[in-house]
Structure 1
Amino acid sequence: MAGRLVADVVVERLTAWGVNRVFGYSGDGINPVLGALRRAGAPGFVQARHEENAAFMAVGHAKYTGGVGVVLATQGPGAVHLLNGLYDARMDSVPVVAFVGQQSQTVLGSAYQQEIDLLSLFKDVASGFRQQVASADQAPMVIDRAFKAALATRSPAVVILPHDVQQEPAPELEHEHGVVPSAPVWSSGTLMPQEQDLHDAGTLLNAGSKLALLVGQGARNAQPEVEALAEKLGAAVVTSLLGKPYVNEALPYAAGTMGHLGTSASGWVMANCDTLLIVGSNDPWTEFYPPPGAARAVQIDRDAKAIGNRYPVEVAVNGDAAESLRALLPLVTERIGWRADVERHVDAWRRLSEARALTPADPINPERAVRELNGRLPGNAQVAVDVGSCVYWYARQLHLPPGVPAHLSSTLASMGCGLPYGLAAKLSEPGRPVVVLSGDGGMQMTGMAELITVGRLWRSWENPVFAICILNNLDLAEVSWEQRETESEPRFDDSQDLPDVDYSGYAKLLGLDGVRVENDDDVGPAWDRALAADRPFVLDIRTDPAVPLLPPFPAGASLAGSMEEGFAAEGNAHALMLLREYVRLEREAQP
C-alpha cells in the first residue's frame, strides 16, 4: 500500500504521546490501525482473550504506571465488550483512551452488520470526551484532545474511527479556515491551594482533640506529608480501599481500611473522632463516616467537585495533596491528642486479625491463606486483587511493604479484573514479581482465559515470578453472605455454587506450574514455592466459604442476627459455629 494513511497517523500520534503498549483484540473495523502498528513496530500490541479484559489491562496499566492506558477494539460487539473496563476507569478516576473501529461512513444508518450508534453507546462512560473522526484532517486533533481530556479529567476518552477514514491518505494540514492544528503535549502542573483555605483548615484542625485522617488514592504522592501531619496532630490514619497502598500500616496509629470490608480499629476511629481531614478520597461507604455533625471536617482534593460529596465538610482545600499538606503543616499545633486510645484500638485490631486468621476452618481459613503472604511478599512486588470475598482478606490481612502498589476495581467492583490487572503490572515492569489474589468466581469469569495470555508471554519476562493465588471455596461467597446479611435469606445454591476446577492442572497444561493446597500447614510452603518458581505459578487454595464477612463492629454485631437466621434456614451448623466464634473474638478484642 503506497503512502501514509490516517491509520499511520494514529500510530505516530500514539508514539508522540509516549504510548509504549496498546491492549486489544482484532477485528475488521480496526484492521487499518493494526496494519499501521505492524508496519511501525511500536507501540507494542498485547492481544487479550476478550475486549473486556483488554480494557481492564488498560485500566491496570494506568493505575500501576500513572500514565494513560490505551485499548483498541473493533466495532459492534468489540465496542460493547469494552464498557465494563471503561466504567472501571471512570469510577476509579484513571485516564484511558479507547480507539474503536466503525463501519465505513457510507453505510452508517443502513442497519449494516455490526453497526451500532457508538457515540450513544459511550455517551455516559466517556462523557468527558468521545468523538467520531469524519476526515483525515480531523484525526490528529481528535487524538490529541482525547489524551488531554483523559489526563485532565482522569476518565476514559473514546476515539471512533470509521474504516474508510482509517484508509484515507495521511493529511497535510494547511494553514486555513476549518483546519485546527494541535500538539501532543500536556502538563499536569501543580495545583496550589489558596492561602485563606489553608488558614481556615489549620484553625479548624487546631480546635479538635480527636483527629483522624481519611487517606485515599489522591495521596499517592503524599505519603511523607500524610505521616508528618498525623504525627504532629496526634491523629489516627484510616484509608479508603484505594488508599491502602499509600499508608504504612505498620505505623502504630494506622487503623487500616474503612468501610464494610474494613477493620474494627477504623470503625472505632471514624465513630469517635471529633475532627476529620479527608485527603484525596471519595470513598462511597458513607455509613462508616462519622455521623453528620459529630465531627468537623476539612477536605483536600485536586478535584474541586469531589469536595463535600461524601461528608458535610466545613473547609474545602482545592489543591495537590502533597503541596497542600506541606503548606498546612506549619499552621497546626503539635499535640499528643488521642494517640494512646488510637494505638490501643489498633493493637486490639492486630490481635483480632491474627486470631481470626488462626481460627480453624474447613479446610483452610482464607484469612490465613492471605496472611501467610506477610513477610514473604517481596519488597519490589506488585499486587493485583480481584473482586469478591478476597478483597476483605486483602484489606484486613495483607500488610503491604512500603512502595508495593496494589490495585483492584474498587468503585465499580467488577469481578474478573485480577488477572488482567496483574498482566498490566507485569508488562509495565517485567523485572518485578507480581502477586494476584483472586477468588474462584473471578478466576472462572476471566482469569482462566487470561492464563492463556500468561502462558503466551511469560518467557520474555526478565523476572518470571507471577504468583496467582485462587481462594477456591466453590462459592460466590460475597453474594452468598449478602443474601444472608441484607436479605435475611438462606443462600441460593443454584445461583451461588461454583464448579470444582483443577486450576493448577490447567496451569500445567499451559506450560505453567501450580499446586492445590488443602491443609493449613502447607499454605506457607506453597507461597514459598510460588515466589521462587521459574515460571508463573497457580496456588489453588481450598478455603472455607463459611468464614464470616462481618463488617466492623458495631455494624457487624447488628447484622450477625440476620446472618444467623440465614444459616438456620440453611441448616448450616458449621457456618453458624464460625459466625458465633468470630462474634466472640470481636467482642473479646474490644479494649
Structure 2
Amino acid sequence: MNTVRTGGDLAVETLTALGARTVFGIPGQHALGLFDALRRTPELRLVANRVENNAAFAADGHARRTGAVTPLLVSTGPGALLTLASLQEARESSVPVLAISSQVPAAGLGGARRGYLHELPDQQASFRGVVKSTHEARHPSQIPSAIAAAWRSAASAPAGPVWVEIPQDVLTGPAGAPPVTGVDGSPVPLPPRPELVEEAARLLDGARRPVVLAGGGVVRSGGADALLELAERLRAPVACTFGGKDAFPWEHQLSLQSWLEDRHLTDYLEQADVLLVAGSGLGELSSNYHTFRPRGRIIQVEADLGRIEANHPALGVHADAAATLRALAGRVRPRAADRAVEDEVSAVRAKVAARLAAQDLGAEQGILASMRAALPDGAPSFWDMTVLAYWAWSAWDPRGGTMHTAQGAGGLGFAFPAALGAAAVGGGPVLAVSGDGGAMYGIAELAAARQHGLDVTWLIVDDGGYGILREYMADAYGAAAHTELARPDFAALAASFGVAAVRTAPDRLADDLAGSLAEPGPSVVLLPAVPRMFAPTHLG
C-alpha cells in the first residue's frame, strides 16, 4: 500500500534534520499523526513514558546529559497541561526541551467552541508564562520553519523549553511538500560586549581579593575550563552554586565548594572587594536565602537579561558565561601564587566542617559518603527534593559526574524520570535519589524503565512521609501535621514490574548500591531511614 506523506512526516523529518535521535512522549488521539510518522522514521527512537509530566522530566534529563535540544511529543488538552510543572523546572534550570503538542482540528481554533475532545479555548495561553517561546503551525508548509525556529530558541542562551502546537488535521493531512533537509536550528551567539570585558578585567586586576561565584550557566555553556584558567590566573577562590556544582574542581586549593547555606562562606563572599558572579542570578538559594550583603563590587555575567541586577547592583554583562570567561582569562594579568589565599580557603572549609561536626549528624554524613563511594566517578546523578538532596546541594563531590536536582522550580517527582532520560543516552549507570513521598510521583515509570532497559538505579529513602516538610513544620509550628504517608513496599512493587530490587540499611548501603549500579538495566535500592537536615546559618 502506498503511504501518503503527512504533516506528521514533515514534523518528524524536521526533527531528524535538526539532529534529534531520541524523543520522549505519550501518544494521544490528536497526536497520532506524529506517532504514525515515527513508525516510518527509524532514525528517531521513541522512549515511551507513562505520564506526560514524567515524559517532560525525561526529556529534561536527556537534554541535561547531552547539552542538546531534546524533543517531547504529547497530545492536546489534559496531556499537554500535565507537562506544565515539568516545563517550569526546565525553564528555571535553562534546559532546552522542545515540546510538540497536537491541537484540535483547525476548525475548532480561533474562538469557535466546536466541542472537540480535549478542547481548550487557547492552549498556548497556558504555556506562555512557563516556556521560553511558543510557536504554531496552521498549515503543513509552516511546520519545518516553526519547529526550526523553536529549536533555535530552545538552544540559544539562555537555553530553555519551547512549545510548538499543530492541529490534528494538519498532522494527519497530506504534506504537500518534499522531504525536509534544509533546516538550521543553530543557536544565536550571545558574546559579551568588548567594553564590558575591558571594564570587568580592569576591576578584577585592581582587586585585592577577587572571588568567583560560579553558577549553573558556567556548566551549561561549557565554561568550566575557562573558569579554571581564569581563577588560577587571578588566584581567586571559587564557590559554586547548587546548580553549578560541576563548574570547578571540588578539591582544588582555590575551591570554596558549595556551602552556600553556611554563614562562614556567606561572610567570606561578602568580604570580597570584587565578586565575579558567573552564570547565576543570585537568587534565593545562591544568596543564603537573600541574606547575602556584599560590601564590594559585583560583576554579574548572565545570559538571562531579566536576572541581571535583579537582586544586587552590579556591572551587568549580558552574555554567555563560557564566552565571557574565556575573554576575561585572556585579558586579566596573571598573579603570583599566594599561600595566604589558599590558607583563607582552607580556613573557611575548616569552619564549615567544625560547625557540622557539632551537630551530631554522623549518620547522615555516613549515608552520603556511602552513596559517593558506590557511584562510579563520572556517572551522573539526579535528585528529588528530599533531605539527602538538600545535603547533596552543599556536600556532594561530583567527581566528574554531573549532579542534577529540581532546585530550579522545586517540584517533586523529578529524579527518576529525568534519570531515565539521561540513561537513554547510554554510557553507564545513572543514579536517581528520591524520598518515599517523591517516589510515588514516578512509580508508573518503572514500566518505561523495564520496557526500554534503561540503566538507572533508583535509591528510595523511605522515611515515612515528607521529611523536609516534617522538619520545616516542626521548626515553625512546634509539630508536623499531614506529613506522614501510607506507602507501598517499594521493593516488592518494583519486583512486580520485573525490576530488580533490594532492601538495604545504612551499614550495607555502599555495597548494595554499588552492586545495583554494576548490574545493567533498571534497579531499585530501598533504604528505610530518617535522615535529618543540617542546621543552616543565615545570619551572622
Task: Return the TM-score normalized by structure 2.
Answer: 0.90
2:527 is the alignment partner of 1:541: yes
Q: Secondary structure at the match of 1:13?
A: helix
Using CA pairs below 8 Å that are at least 6 residues apart, which structure has the higher relative contact order? 2
Instruction: Map 1:312-327 onto structure 2 (within 5 A).
Output: 312-313=313-314, 315-327=315-327
1:478 is the counterpart of 2:468? yes
The 2-side partners of 1:194 and 1:357 are apart by 50
**Does the CA contact (< 8 Å) of 2:204 and 2:332 recur in 1?**
no
Kept in 2, the 8 Å contact 1:75–1:100? The answer is yes
CA distance in 2, matches of 1:23, 1:354: 45
CA change 1:554–1:411 in 2 (3 A) is closer
Q: 1:352 to 1:9 in 2, by over 3 A?
A: same
1:129 equivalent in alignment to 2:116: no
Q: Tell me the secondary structure at the aligned position of residue 375 of structure 1.
A: helix
C-alpha contact (below 8 Å) 2:494/2:524 kept by paired residues: yes
Letter in 2 for 1:64: R
Structure 2 partner of 1:255: 256
CA 1:435 to 1:291, structure 2 compared with 1: closer, same or farther past 3 Å? closer
**Alignment match, 1:112:** 116
| Separation in 2, partners of 1:87, 1:500 | 27
State the alpha-carbon separation in 2 of the partners of residues 250 and 542 from structure 1: 31
Alignment of 1:65-464 (within 5 A): 65-108=66-109, 109-116=113-120, 117-126=122-131, 128-131=133-136, 133-152=137-156, 153-172=158-177, 183-188=182-187, 191-220=190-219, 221-259=222-260, 262-263=261-262, 265-285=264-284, 287-288=287-288, 291-292=292-293, 294-313=295-314, 315-329=315-329, 330-332=331-333, 334=335, 336=338, 338-350=341-353, 359=362, 365-402=363-400, 404-428=401-425, 430-446=426-442, 448-458=443-453, 464=455
Aligned to 2:479: 491
Cα deviation, 1:142-171, whole Å, max 9, x if unaligned, reads: 122221222225222212111111122112
Supply the distance in 2 between the matched residues of 1:490 and 1:475 (Cα, whole angstroms): 17
Contact 2:390 2:533 in 1 (8 A): no
1:206 partner amino acid? D
Would the alpha carbon gap of residues 4 and 554 (structure 1) be closer, same or farther in structure 2, given more than 3 Å must change? closer
Task: Find the aligned partners of 1:532 and 1:5 in 2 and give their Cα distance.
Answer: 44
Name the CA distance, whole Å, in 1 between partners of 2:424 and 2:292. 44
Structure 1 unpaired stretches of 5+: 174-180, 360-364, 558-591
Cα displacement (A) at 1:96: 1.5
Cα offset, 1:189, TM superposition: 6.4
SS of residue in 1 equivalent to 2:72 = strand
Amino acid of the structure 2 residue aligned with 1:170: A
What is the CA–CA distance in structure 1 between the aligned matches of 2:247 and 2:368, rounded to whole Å?
19
**Two-structure CA RMSD over aligned residues (Å):** 2.5
- Which residue type is aligned with residue 530 of structure 1? S
Aligned residue in 2 for 1:501: 488
Q: Residues 147 and 509 from structure 1, CA distance in 2 versus in 1: closer, same or farther, beyond 3 angstroms?
A: same
Tell me, yes or no, if the aligned pair for 1:503 and 1:540 is still in contact at 8 Å. Answer: yes
Are 1:526 and 2:512 an aligned pair?
yes
Identity %: 26
Structure 1 residue 481: Cα displacement? 2.4
* CA deviation map 1:282-304 (0-9, x unaligned): 24126536744512111223444
SS at match of 2:238: strand
Q: SS of 2:33's equivalent? A: helix
For the structure 1 residues 328 and 126, does the alpha-carbon distance in structure 2 shift closer, same or farther, using more than 3 Å as the test?
Answer: closer
Aligned residue in 2 for 1:589: none
Determine helix, strand or coil for the equivalent of 1:199: helix
1:76-110: per-residue Cα shift (whole Å, max 9, x none)?
11111111111111111122211111221224422
C-alpha separation in 1, matches of 2:104 and 2:192: 47
Kept after mapping to 2: 8 A contact 1:382/1:434:
yes
* Pairwise CA distance, 1:14: 1.1
**CA offset at residue 53 of structure 1?**
0.4
Change in CA separation of 1:189 and 1:531 when aligned onto 2, cut-off 3 Å:
same
Residues 1:271 and 1:440: Cα distance change in structure 2 (over 3 Å): farther
Looking at structure 2, the residues matched to 433 and 510 of structure 1 have their Cα atoms a distance apart, in angstroms, of 19
Structure 1 residue runs of 4+, over 4 Å off?
Answer: 289-293, 350-358
CA distance in 2, matches of 1:106, 1:319: 43
Output the CA distance in 1 between the equivalents of 2:181 and 2:514: 52
Return the alpha-carbon distance in structure 1 between the equivalents of residues 526 and 395 of structure 2. 19
Contact 1:68 1:97 in 2 (8 A): yes
The separation in 2 between residues aligned to 1:377 and 1:190, in whole angstroms, is 36
The alpha-carbon distance between structure 1 residues 291 and 282, as it changes in their structure 2 partners (threshold 3 A), is closer
Q: CA, structure 1 residues 312+232, in 2 after alignment: closer, same or farther (shift >3 Å)?
A: same
Structure 1 residue 398 displacement after superposition = 2.2
Change (3 A) 1:190 1:275: same
In 1, Cα distance between equivalents of 2:267 and 2:124? 47
Q: Offset of 1:202 from its aligned partner?
A: 2.1
Supply the distance in 2 between the matched residues of 1:194 and 1:114 (Cα, whole angstroms): 47
Single out whichever of 270-279 and 316-325 deviates more from structure 2. Answer: 316-325
Matches of 1:528 and 1:353, distance apart in 2: 27
CA distance in 2, matches of 1:151, 1:396: 29
Counterparts of 2:478 and 2:361, CA distance in 1: 27
**Cα distance in structure 2, aligned partners of 1:436 and 1:353:** 26
The DSSP-based 3-state class of the residue aligned with 2:525 is strand
Contact 1:366 1:543 in 2 (8 A): no
Q: Which residue of 1 aligns with 2:22?
A: 21
Are the counterparts in 2 of residues 129 and 156 from structure 1 also a CA contact under 8 Å?
Answer: no
User: 1:499 and 1:110 mapped to 2: Cα distance?
Assistant: 43
Pair 491,111 (structure 1): closer, same or farther in 2 beyond 3 Å: farther
Asked if 1 retains the 8 angstrom alpha-carbon contact of 2:9 and 2:37, the reply is yes
